[in-house]
Structure 1
């Protein structure tokens, strides 16, 4: 201080020498200097540790959730199940994959912070950090599995997950932290709030930040294992809560996946029954529950009623000969946005024995694909029952899905093995080759039931002929359900056909029966000169007065002749007489085609729905 006063006097004397005796320098605000260092250090990681690091760790959650929902939305897991991947291996593989991904992510997180020298990482014991992060990422993965069961859209899951992340960080940093710091706030309520995994994560990171801050200021070593016994340290309770939640959520997620997820459909108490498969014979009482469908049965045609009675008999006296049995199966989609509800499948009863190819014909939107989707587990029926090899599709889809088998034999049968085709990636196949590959995949593992949705679409004639031969050979020891819009394909492959219109089965039988039952006419065509058109009409009237002219152009006439009124021999005799009397350029007699039957049945069904 003396030195400072001396400096002030010397400065004033020099200033007065230069400017005159009236000049004076004021030093009221001059302080003592130099001044000793003030201990003031800020650990930036400790300030960011709570909120920022919470968001960093939570970024893993939407990655896991959206991946699981994507598999569900794209039906990828169902496809894997169909090819033999059980629930146990699926969970182990998927869980292991996300755990490895999460461990790598957290190692990079801790390593990066340590390399930067952040006290948040370097002062706290690494073993405590490893245990904390390891338990939490396992809890996070199990939570993703649990929530994935309630989402069907990736977009919805993604938005929800990120809103949850953002909200968790804000609530933790600007609300939960004040409760932790308030010593008067009940500890029991803090523990209760930590049951929410996001708050538990924040509390653990907050404790790491506090230990790092205090350790850097006083020169201690940060958090150590013995510090967990301190009542002021909340890390011990956080670890216990997160570990207990991890185990509980894991079992709950697996249970919900088994009971509610599409393609599994087990009963709520499946774990008490030892995963026993329910045989068809135990479901025979379903056949007597028909009171609600009496009106429909009365309106059904005789062939459809006969099929329903056949199903009832099979339910009362089940046999292993019928691979597929559907009993009063329904699929109804409720109305949305003011639109009325719609039946996709309406009270379908069907039995398909082994060794039969059953063809499903119908216009677009008739319910064919919806029926197959229910049978393979993509969607669940609204009501009714269906059994494949005696197993209920509602509760035992895992037992229905077939296992993988010999790929080489299937590829050879469809010409997908030679010429380098088998070595190509499937994405590089043409449309026809992809169709053939799909058929080959469906036959892998020697399945007893095969569903084919328009397998011949887009194939050239030679490849289609090859495909038909494969299907003919495949149906010898298995049941095949085939949908198609090709009448030629239906006649070539199917032992029986069912025509579906407006979600209902309208008729059923083999192609010849359907043509005889619903056709009932011959189409007679004759071409002459215009002068003899009247003579042709007279000949047809002599064959049957119920003939109906359907076409007339430049001497060519077509007539529909009822089969019950006409004998083919009489037609040939009439043509011979006509040839002797005038010139016949051409003539023909055609039976009813399957396409004619299809059009007639569809028109009748639409007309009935319009009237009703």
Structure 2
């Protein structure tokens, strides 16, 4: 699985290359290359293929070689006739033209002016547009047009190799204060071998005063084209704020987006100050020369932030589900039971996931670089290393923190991958817009970057921007010196992630200690101050009042409770396990009442004793053993193992405990041998001793031939159970085997033959305790007489039994078979044999038997009484 995870970046990078090649193939089509045509240059009817800007469309011109870029007249952005500013229900200024002008096509273009001095502003603005008839010099048409500002409804392009105003079907205008009738003339331009002719018509310009820039902004906003086709749109030509300008100090601010309007206000200022003969002509605009290029899209840089954030962030649910899997399968508890402390576990697990994540990121960068992704090759590798290393540390730490919130692997996987996709999509379709919005406060960006997914996206976004610009401009990508740029957010991202990493890893360890051990949030204050331990128990630590369950508690149970009370006041080490009024209460759920699994259990187990617990399903046996082994926490009461409190010292208790839990706690991907090698090392076995212990354990549980190296997930239920037994016994733990063993059993024969003492559990309470002989003598002082005859003889059989034992108790009868309990003090066995022989002469006896009391009979009698 780890190998598949590590090599997955290779396939992801190949996927990017495949998409890049498909994009390049599409971009290499003739419609995206420099335009060509066949030109008859000599007039002999033979054409020659010519390629260049003059034969190209607007989509093709960007790839043409242009040694001498053409000169184009500068143009204004003219609002379309249907969008020009008029009086409307939302803009009712009286100086605007009536809406009826749109029907006749006579609406002027509006320019708004504001400032501190209205007279000055309007005077200067009135000089912006020429008056009178046109005077066009065909020999120097660009110089002639400098006095008559042209404009177009077409949108500007990113380059000026071709002016869209002369290549679109939209009209071209020149702006005058007042248009004369038939004010239309042709304009001829020569581009290479091709001559362009464009008809230019007049459009009147209207200068209107507004009292403040806020009024202009409001008007601009109300008339802005927002994509709603039903909404009326009011667009203006340009807007100017003269601020505090006067005759000695001109300080105008243009609220527009084209260079031609800036030239207009500059000339208007010169005319106002120095007269109409002084002007600054704006003849043409042209691009820098360029070689032939191919249309290319650096797909890895364009898609990089979104795609790579999903690729990198997918490590999060992988680590998260692995941690929750160990919690769900209680493998973490098993490791603690075998001596692996919290700190070593954290160090090992953290180092493992960090190593896997680092190799994953290293493979991603190497594979991406080998196949030529500019995202990786142009940016400084040292910056990439620092960024990725800090982030994977933060990601692993966050996974440890979030793992404390989940207990189910499936739920964790769903939530984890939802976080992956939500983080990527929110980064690409929300966070990126805030990054590109220069008006958004920087502190807001920093606040959003506190979420690790956004800090990752910000770093990838910066890498993508630098690689994209470097690829198109032929420069390097991001370098360390670029981190000092105020527009570069990489430095703040690195600082945020570094601080978050240190904070999150500390909080994660603390939360894990509280969540996994059930400790108080202030556990570190009294970690080593177990004042109520067995050997230092003070009177103030004891509960007030009697612990007896009044008359209902049996004498042997009362004696066991008193024994516990006495041992808690002594410093004796003769008992390995002492339970003091231990209780477990499960809260009510889904309308069900709360459930007492264990009700005030007091029990003392001396060293060397094998103690067996008997009880029906649901009696509380598993809950009791789970409390002793640390799988669950008691609701109240206490238990001590070798003087260590299970509520606070389980880590130390595990060093001397071996447990075979009710359910098999195994890694399904590890073999039986690997399980034993792992847990053997936890028990401090090494070298030859470890190998010998593993081999002996495999032979002892019959998992040697052909199955020792088979994955545990493929074992049968019985094989898993045997492996669990071998795990619990490896390393010779103290609380087990021939030393001190706790057993929960359903088999009476097993319990009777193996256990030194037995306790019968019922409804969470200890009903009786003692060795098997004592229990049978105390609760089983009778024989069980069983006889099978014809059902017609049932009455004669019962009379026979009453003569043998007047106090006999019938406990079973069906189809001629009857079973009776006969008090031992009333029975002489020879009389029973003699009575049966005499009865055979009167009726047929198919079978009969006289049995001593079994442990099962004792169990049934005790549970019925309870």
Map of 2:763 onto structure 1:
502
CA distance in 2, matches of 1:366, 1:587: 35
Map of 1:172 onto structure 2:
427
Map of 1:445 onto structure 2:
731
Do structure 1's residue 235 and structure 2's residue 490 form an aligned pair? yes
Do structure 1's residue 351 and structure 2's residue 351 form an aligned pair? no
Map of 1:251 onto structure 2:
506
Map of 1:484 onto structure 2:
745
CA distance in 1, matches of 2:731, 2:306: 53
Given the alignment, which residue of 46, 66, 77 partners 2:301?
46
Change (3 A) 1:409 1:229: closer
Do structure 1's residue 281 and structure 2's residue 531 form an aligned pair? no
Which deviates further from its counterpart, 344-353 or 149-158?
A: 344-353
Structure 1: state its 5+ residue gaps. 13-26, 451-473, 606-612
Given the alignment, which residue of 754, 774, 789 partners 1:493?
754
Change (3 A) 1:259 1:550: closer
Shift of 1:65: 0.5
Shift of 1:285: 5.4
Do structure 1's residue 146 and structure 2's residue 401 form an aligned pair? yes
CA distance in 2, matches of 1:581, 1:168: 89
1:319-398 equivalent positions in 2, closer than 5 A: 319-398=572-651
Do structure 1's residue 136 and structure 2's residue 391 form an aligned pair? yes
Which deviates further from its counterpart, 367-376 or 571-580?
A: 571-580
1:108-123 equivalent positions in 2, closer than 5 A: 108-123=363-378
Map of 2:326 onto structure 1:
71
CA contact (8 A) 2:697 2:730 kept: no
Map of 1:454 onto structure 2:
none
Do structure 1's residue 186 and structure 2's residue 441 form an aligned pair? yes
CA contact (8 A) 1:46 1:210 kept: yes
Q: Could you list the per-position Cα deviations for residues 18-42 of structure 1 after superposition, in whole angstroms to 9, with x for gaps in the alignment?
A: xxxxxxxxx9999846897687754
Shift of 1:593: 1.3
Shift of 1:175: 2.4
Shift of 1:534: 8.7
CA distance in 2, matches of 1:366, 1:410: 36
Which deviates further from its counterpart, 99-108 or 411-420?
A: 411-420
CA distance in 2, matches of 1:188, 1:553: 86
TM-score by length of 2: 0.58
Change (3 A) 1:7 1:110: same
Do structure 1's residue 416 and structure 2's residue 669 form an aligned pair? no
Map of 2:418 onto structure 1:
163
Q: Secondary structure at the match of 2:482?
A: helix
Answer 1 or 2: higher relative contact order, Cα 8 Å, separation at least 6.
1
CA distance in 2, matches of 1:323, 1:106: 51
Q: Could you list the per-position Cα deviations for residues 380-418 of structure 1 after superposition, in whole angstroms to 9, with x for gaps in the alignment?
A: 222222221111222221111136256646975995389
Change (3 A) 1:299 1:76: same
TM-score by length of 1: 0.79
Q: Could you list the per-position Cα deviations for residues 451-491 of structure 1 after superposition, in whole angstroms to 9, with x for gaps in the alignment?
A: xxxxxxxxxxxxxxxxxxxxxxx32xx22111222211111
Shift of 1:120: 1.8
Q: Secondary structure at the match of 1:347?
A: strand
CA contact (8 A) 1:539 1:574 kept: no
CA distance in 2, matches of 1:61, 1:581: 82
Shift of 1:124: 1.1
Q: Secondary structure at the match of 1:232?
A: coil
Do structure 1's residue 425 and structure 2's residue 425 form an aligned pair? no
CA RMSD of aligned residues (A): 3.9
CA distance in 2, matches of 1:157, 1:587: 62
CA distance in 2, matches of 1:174, 1:310: 70
CA distance in 2, matches of 1:44, 1:235: 22
Number of residue pairs the alignment of both structures matches = 556
CA distance in 1, matches of 2:598, 2:457: 51
Change (3 A) 1:206 1:317: same
Which deviates further from its counterpart, 352-361 or 164-173?
A: 164-173
CA distance in 1, matches of 2:708, 2:402: 38
Change (3 A) 1:34 1:208: farther
Change (3 A) 1:10 1:267: same
Map of 2:221 onto structure 1:
none
Map of 2:468 onto structure 1:
213
**Higher CA-based Rg:** 2
Shift of 1:353: 1.4
Change (3 A) 1:345 1:116: same
Q: Secondary structure at the match of 2:700?
A: coil
Shift of 1:139: 0.5
CA distance in 1, matches of 2:365, 2:400: 26
1:548-559 equivalent positions in 2, closer than 5 A: 548-550=809-811, 559=820
CA distance in 2, matches of 1:155, 1:300: 46
Shift of 1:228: 1.1
Shift of 1:133: 0.5
Change (3 A) 1:198 1:292: farther
CA contact (8 A) 2:701 2:722 kept: no
CA distance in 1, matches of 2:364, 2:599: 56
Change (3 A) 1:56 1:434: closer
1:503-542 equivalent positions in 2, closer than 5 A: 503-524=764-785, 541=802
Given the alignment, which residue of 789, 804, 808 partners 1:547?
808
User: Whose helix fraction is larger, Structure 1's or Structure 2's?
Assistant: 1
Given the alignment, which residue of 580, 586, 594 partners 2:855?
594
CA distance in 1, matches of 2:742, 2:733: 13
CA distance in 2, matches of 1:444, 1:223: 56
Q: Could you list the per-position Cα deviations for residues 38-73 of structure 1 after superposition, in whole angstroms to 9, with x for gaps in the alignment?
A: 877543222212222211211111111011111111
Change (3 A) 1:572 1:219: same
Shift of 1:360: 0.8
CA distance in 1, matches of 2:482, 2:792: 115
Q: Secondary structure at the match of 1:346?
A: strand
